Chains A and B, each alone.
Chain A
Amino acid sequence: NAGVMQNPRHLVRRRGQEARLRCSPMKGHSHVYWYRQLPEEGLKFMVYLQKENIIDESGMPKERFSAEFPKEGPSILRIQQVVRGDSAAYFCASSPLTGYYNEQFFGPGTRLTVL
Chain B
Amino acid sequence: SQQGEEDPQALSIQEGENATMNCSYKTSINNLQWYRQNSGRGLVHLILIRSNEREKHSGRLRVTLDTSKKSSSLLITASRAADTASYFCATVDSGNTGKLIFGQGTTLQVKP
- B98 and A98 contact, CB distance less than 8 A: yes
Chain B: number of interface residues, binned into ranges: 20 to 34
Which of B82-112 touch A at CB < 8 Å? 88, 92-93, 95-105
**Segment of A11-19, A37-45, A65-73, A77-85 engaged in the interface with chain B:** A37-45
Contacts of A103 in B (CB 8 A): 33, 45, 48
Contacts of B95 in A (CB 8 A): 56
**A74 touches B (CB below 8 Å):** no
**B41 touches A (CB below 8 Å):** yes
- A106 and B31 contact, CB distance less than 8 A: no
Least Cβ–Cβ distance between A19 and chain B, in angstroms: 19
Contacts of A93 in B (CB 8 A): 43, 100
CA distance A94 to B88 in the complex (A): 18
**B30 touches A (CB below 8 Å):** yes
**A95 touches B (CB below 8 Å):** yes
Contacts of A104 in B (CB 8 A): 45, 98, 100
**What 4 A-B pairs are tightest by C-beta distance, nearest first?**
A106-B42, A42-B102, A100-B30, A106-B43
